[in-house]
Chain A
Amino acid sequence: MNPTRRDFLRGILAAGSAPLFLPAHIFGANGTVSPSNKITVGFVGTGDHGRAVNLASILTLADVEVVALCDVDRKHLGLAAEMVTRSGAAPPERALYRDWRDVIARPDIDAVCISTPDHWHTPIAMAALRAGKDVLCEKPTVTIREGQLLAAAVRRYGRVYQASTEDRALPMYHRMAELVRNGAIGRLHTIRVQLPSGNLARRVVPIREDPVPPELDYDMWLGPAPLAPYQPERVHFNFRWIQAYSGGMLTDWGCHQVDTAQWANNTEHTGPVSVEGTCVFGEGLYDTAWDFELKYVYRNGVQLRIENTGTGLRFEGDKGWVGNTAWRRPVEASSPEILDAIVPPDGVHLYTEPAREHRNFIDCVRSRRDPYFPVEKLHRLGSLLHCGNICLKLGRKLNWNPDQEEFVGDEAANRLRARAMREPWHL
């Protein structure tokens, strides 16, 4: 696959496009092991979320050393390098890369943090696992098949894999899930999930072709996705509104509230048995579902209803309800008794880590425990959400066999469980 070497960094320095305060001798360091007892982490994807959430958080952990940064966009890379330098923890082995394969190839790296657009998550994570790295990777996958292969690879290589979301660390979601799992609302019958409208700005962006900016390796940005003309509205944060790179708002935000739904319903290792719904797909460049309503039914009879009317979450049982009105809002309930219910010693105590996903991941790299959002749960969550998108795309009700992980009697739907990758990329 013809790895491209790190002349990119020299490009940055020569162009003077990013103020880097790194001594020249540190670049290209390879094959050495961190002399400290720190976990060494390489960052792949240093865009907004990669920097503001993942890098910023990892840099606060005293037992971690950031030794590599990688991005296809020189501007992002420069900003990330500045952050590391400013953190005051500039490690001697740090280096900058454009091609993630160079990061994966470094034997001195214990773990990688992947914050790329969705269509790159699984290929990079799989390669990292093969190279013996533990993986902290943004959600979601792009297909059901990706989740299956990823879960198998984690199991095969015995690695630690954390899907990077904070929800299981947030007290309101943990509390809701524990209340439901411990019967505080009686028998759960309905879960209502609100997700934001697909394409937050609800913009119709015409497709056009603009010159690729010099700081961006656009072919590498596209990677396994189909060739498409460059325009700034296609790349970086906007990828999530385009089917070629993402499942839209359903998978982007669905990985938050719907994960809590799966958690509370104790269906993290399985999935629904049917899905039906309607939607309006976006026009122009942003072609994922904008307005959608989905109804899933689980084998235990619970209904999961998803609509894009906000960011709230509500669990309804035969003795009351619990939920919140918007993202990260406090828990509310139909009665104070439910809200203040105490989980007894022999009740269901769900795994959380108030110090969030990054701390949890690093602790698990050391202890070899499973993190709070391991790959199998990510895969089942992803399957549920991808089933929803396939249902919307085909415009019909689908029956899903969560044991066999296949649609019942629907060849077209089954074909959409996977998608080919643009050559030469493969999983």
Chain B
Amino acid sequence: MVLAASLRGAAPSEDAALKVALDGNAGTVERTRAFADLRAVATERLIPVLATLLKDPAWSFSARSVLENIPGAACDRALLDALDSIGDSRLRAGVINSLGNRRSAAAVPALAKLMTSPDSMLVDAAVNALGNIGSVAAASALARDEPPPALRTAWGDALLRVAELLPPSEHARSLELLRRVATNGSPAQVTAATLSLARRSGDPGAAVVAALTSNEPVSRMAALALIRSGEFGSKLTGAVGRVFPSLSAEAQVQVLSVLFDRGDRAAAPLARGALKSKDTAVRAAAARLLSVIGDPSDVAALLPLMIGTDEPAVSARLALSRIAGDEVTARLLESFRSGGDAREAALDVLVSRGHRALVPELLQPEVYADADFGRLAANAVMTLGTGRNLGAVLELHHRLPASQRGNLENALRRLAVKHPSPDEAAKLIFDAAEKLPVAEGTPLFVMLAGIGGDAAFNSLAGLLKSDVIETRRVALRALGSWRDLRPAAKLLAVAREDSDAGVRALAVRSVTTLYAKSAAGARSTPAPEAVSAAITGLRQVWSVAENPAEKNAVLTALRGLKNPKAVATAEELEKQSR
């Protein structure tokens, strides 16, 4: 075990690995791993000793897996000798597999004989091996003897592979094999052979057209795979375009879908025609295709389609968001400004296009008169706006009736984060909040906690000194949602000293939440220092808590830390309070 383990992680040595592999006293797994190491390094000199193991049911596979990797004719000979001398069918099949994996030309005569064996396991292995070898001789062997019906799938597959492996000088033979599969194979093999024949034909367009128009699912699948592969470029696309109108709607959708994968611009006329189809799935697929190959001339046809939630509308919006060009943007802006049903769809597309110049238009109060559209507009501002738009959005926020401001608050939060200077952003927001009645400014004050920084902190801390109770309460709410423990001391001071009982109670709640959050963090197991700080802080909160509800909140916070010390502290405090 030790030896085998030491071999791993470094280039294994042939001698050391062999010693373990052949050690009858070593464990099975240890020996198996040593054989696995030998796969990388074994040389011809090991062939005799490994070949003797091929008859051993316990070690045949391990030895074979090494032999399979040793280059040279000597190894082929050893495997072929073993094939003659091994009686066990399963082990023989393994040897055949290895000969096939080595693409051993010397093995073909022996494998050809096995094609007529009564043992289906051997026939299966021989057929597969001949398919791997893929030589002219292998092709002849496979073509001469058809295996029993149960193995026809394996046989057809082998013929298909041989047809791929034969050199170009054997083109005629390859075609012959493929035609044989195409006429006698299973549906899957017919598809494969059709595909391969089309690939090899001088005019794949004709073959694809024939396959598509035959209405034969098997042939159609081959044609679609060939179109999807893009192997023949625009020539194939042109041929497909000529028969496209005569195809069923299902086939049309499939053709449009595989052309989408290829992104061939030659398919544009076909897509444009399909955009007029009566079938919604065809129209949707056509619009989707235009998203990768369309140009500004397609906008006129796509604009009327983009309204609504059905499949063609979604695809049309996708296309309009992906077709580059200022003229596309201009047409979308026209739709946006014209109002009506197109306005929402146009906004959606303009946002996808990243049209930041739209922001000033979205900062007009009338845009927010309709609550639903206002929500979309605010989201657009959030996506398209930059930190530099913060002041203008705050101004709009101020001008809107209170009932319409909610939509803008997510945008404000995001733009504040995007602002290059957190302190400047905080100042803008604080000033805007101060211009509003306290209740209406609350969301903005709370927003300051999310921005963080000195300006935000000092502004909120300053509010704690206000004579107005409601102002102090707002500051407590904001500081209670601060990202770290910075406000804790101030909140505790308020909890101890404020003249108003309600404010003191809110301060207790805020600082309790702050400590509980600080030790929960993003990780499931908080850092020990964070837990200690939270325990100490919550003890201080306990000392100022004035009623059972506040004390219970502290106990819940301690237990929520899921830390033995915190739980013990909670128990200790609870005992004291009894």
Contact = CB atoms under 8 A, between A and B. Distances in A.
B258 A424 contact: no
B100 A416 contact: no
B40 A370 contact: no
A413 B69 CA distance: 11
A227 B63 CA distance: 13
A156 B125 contact: no
Contacts of A349: 322
Given A228-B29, A424-B124, A369 B258 contact: yes
Interface in A261-300: 279-281, 283, 285, 287
A423 B191 CA distance: 30
A10 interface: no
A426 B97 contact: yes
B98 interface: yes
Contacts of B94: 420, 422-424
Contacts of A423: 60-61, 64, 90-91, 93-94, 97
A226 B32 contact: yes
Contacts of A155: 225, 229
A214 interface: no
Contacts of A131: 153, 186, 188
Interface in A388-417: 392-396, 412-413, 415-416
A345 interface: yes
Contact of B40 (A159, A415, A421): A415
Interface in A332-355: 336-337, 340, 342-346, 349
Interface in B1-18: 5, 8-12
A336 B354 contact: no
A283 B5 contact: yes
Contacts of B8: 281, 287, 393
Nearest to A345: B324
B257 A369 contact: yes
Contact of B90 (A415, A419, A421, A424): A424
B27 interface: yes
A212 interface: no
Nearest to A416: B40
B387 interface: yes
Given A367-B257, A368-B228, A426 B11 contact: no
Contact of A367 (B196, B225, B253, B386): B253
Contacts of A243: 33, 36
A244 B30 CA distance: 12
B101 A420 contact: yes
B299 to A, nearest CB: 12
A344 B353 contact: yes
Contacts, number: 174
B303 interface: no
B9 A281 contact: yes
A394 B40 CA distance: 9
B496 interface: no
B116 interface: no
B62 to A, nearest CB: 7
A392 B98 CA distance: 26
B62 A369 contact: no
Contacts of A366: 254
A395 B228 contact: no
B163 to A, nearest CB: 10
Interface in B415-464: 417-418
A115 to B, nearest CB: 22
A157 interface: yes
B394 interface: no
A420 B221 CA distance: 33
A19 interface: no
B383 A342 contact: yes
B9 A1 contact: no
Interface in B57-115: 58, 60-62, 64-65, 68-69, 90-91, 93-94, 97-98, 100-101
Q: How large is the interface on B (under 10, 10 to 19, 20 to 34, 35 or more residues)?
A: 35 or more
A301 interface: no
A368 B254 contact: yes
B68 A420 contact: yes
B375 to A, nearest CB: 19
A207 interface: yes
B41 interface: yes
A151 to B, nearest CB: 12
A356 interface: no
B261 A370 contact: yes
Which residue of A343, A394, A419, A420 has the most chain B CB atoms within 10 A of its CB atom?
Answer: A420
Nearest to B128: A426
B164 A156 contact: yes
Interface string A363-387: 0001111100000000000000000
B336 interface: no
Contact of A424 (B9, B121, B228, B354): B121
Interface in B118-167: 120-121, 124-125, 128, 153-154, 157, 160-161, 164
A420 B11 CA distance: 20
Contacts of B61: 226-227, 420, 422-423
B328 A2 contact: no
Nearest to A342: B354
Interface string B358-399: 000000000000000000000000011011000000000000
A336 B451 CA distance: 13
Contacts of A426: 97, 100-101, 125, 128
B195 interface: yes
A253 to B, nearest CB: 19
A153 to B, nearest CB: 9
Contacts of B62: 226
B63 to A, nearest CB: 10
Contacts of A425: 97
B28 interface: yes
Contacts of A336: 387, 417-418
B101 A418 contact: yes
A179 to B, nearest CB: 13
Contacts of A229: 28-29
A393 B10 CA distance: 6
B345 interface: no
Contacts of B261: 369-370
B24 to A, nearest CB: 16
B322 A370 contact: no
Contacts of A287: 8, 33
B28 A394 contact: no
A415 B383 contact: no
B224 interface: yes
B323 interface: yes
B418 A368 contact: no
A412 B383 contact: no
Contacts of A343: 354
Contacts of A342: 353-354, 356, 383-384
Contacts of A418: 101
30 contacts: A129-B188, A132-B188, A156-B196, A157-B195, A158-B225, A226-B65, A227-B58, A227-B61, A228-B32, A229-B28, A244-B32, A279-B9, A287-B8, A336-B387, A336-B417, A337-B386, A340-B414, A342-B356, A345-B322, A345-B328, A367-B258, A368-B221, A392-B9, A393-B40, A396-B11, A415-B40, A422-B61, A422-B94, A423-B61, A426-B125
Interface of B: 5, 8-12, 27-29, 32-33, 36, 39-41, 58, 60-62, 64-65, 68-69, 90-91, 93-94, 97-98, 100-101, 120-121, 124-125, 128, 153-154, 157, 160-161, 164, 186-189, 191-192, 195-196, 221-222, 224-226, 228-229, 253-254, 257-258, 260-261, 285, 321-325, 328, 353-354, 356, 383-384, 386-387, 414, 417-418
Given A130-B153, A132-B188, A392-B9, 11 more contacts: A1-B121, A130-B188, A130-B189, A156-B161, A156-B164, A158-B191, A158-B192, A207-B27, A226-B61, A412-B11, A426-B125
In the complex, the 9 A-B pairs of residues with the closest C-beta atoms, listed nearest first: A132-B188, A158-B225, A423-B94, A342-B354, A346-B324, A367-B257, A420-B65, A395-B10, A412-B40
